[in-house]
Structure 1
């Protein structure tokens, strides 16, 4: 088979044009993806609330215009993965006065106050059977976090939740050891959490820290693949095909 010089030049011209189109397509796709990701993150930040940041915040009754107390702790339903109530401290008391504001009764959560419609929305904790024995933020914050392969990742630090409905959106994990505490928290989306129990939180292996043994195993695997006869033959065949193509064009 013989190719003329003009035909060969046209092949390269077409290849260059296709490459330019591909680069433009990839670039536009990357920009579009980056913009979508930015807006999604902005929307997420707008509705997400750090549970730990709400401790000590005022709870205000709208109709009476009165501060009924401050948040002492937060109660969770871990099976449904959501905030269900806020335990309150009454004014001039040093600890929880046994009253709660249920998430379903909250009108809004702002950076300075949690708003409820009126005093009727404030309930006695002992009268709310569905809240008995629920884990609170203090107990959850002490949970150890491990990967599915049993690797210790760190401890739970705080929980992010949707302030419009109480649904947990993310958990933040602080690394183990002194160096772990110096690094930024690891953020795990709630939909990727394998389980949250009374003792540990289990997350996917991809969030586990990489150890030296992992790097060694990876290197050994790559070396084994390099020595694999089938892989060597496949690489040789690929090289021969490239050489043959070069010879035909010349």
Structure 2
């Protein structure tokens, strides 16, 4: 649960914007300037890739646990080989995880290791991270979620394809929100209310049958698939926010 005062803990510049972000060039793909960004948290951590952005499970050869020196700067989690690389600019962003609209939570369903949390990014890729103790795990979770909530831009409506059977998820820009601290907080509160209202409405609909003029008719398969995908999305968004 977020409180309006929580946003004051994040470091902003004189204009109320996040440090390290240059003028928006591409709002869907942006990484902060390491020389200007503020480091919110850092330390050694173990990572395991679980699900790719396309929803497919990560290949076996890439699912092993690996140690990294993690540096959370602005809305990007950089994963370096060691702490000597943390102050240098990466040649590529292969190990830079953008945290806009991301969600972290304790991986209570994972019993092979202790102090593990799950991170789902905006493209629904999933990772497991292991820390050295429970308190540090919670600190990583809280910091990631606060950064994501404080600075993620509002979702944009997705293009609608009448031929598609899947619910089109809204587009989630990677650029920092233009809202002020309190505007962002108000947006989140109203957005949650809208999501809950839409979720409750969808739950009242029958996915198997609809009654028209007293006659029970089968809903088209595409509508059932679309409703199921939308329900899944809304449930996740309410939980994430």
Please state which band the TM-score falls in when normalised by the shorter chain. under 0.3
Structure richer in strand, relative to its length: 1
TM-score by length of 1: 0.20
TM-score by length of 2: 0.21
User: Max radius of gyration: which structure?
Assistant: 1
Structure richer in helix, relative to its length: 1
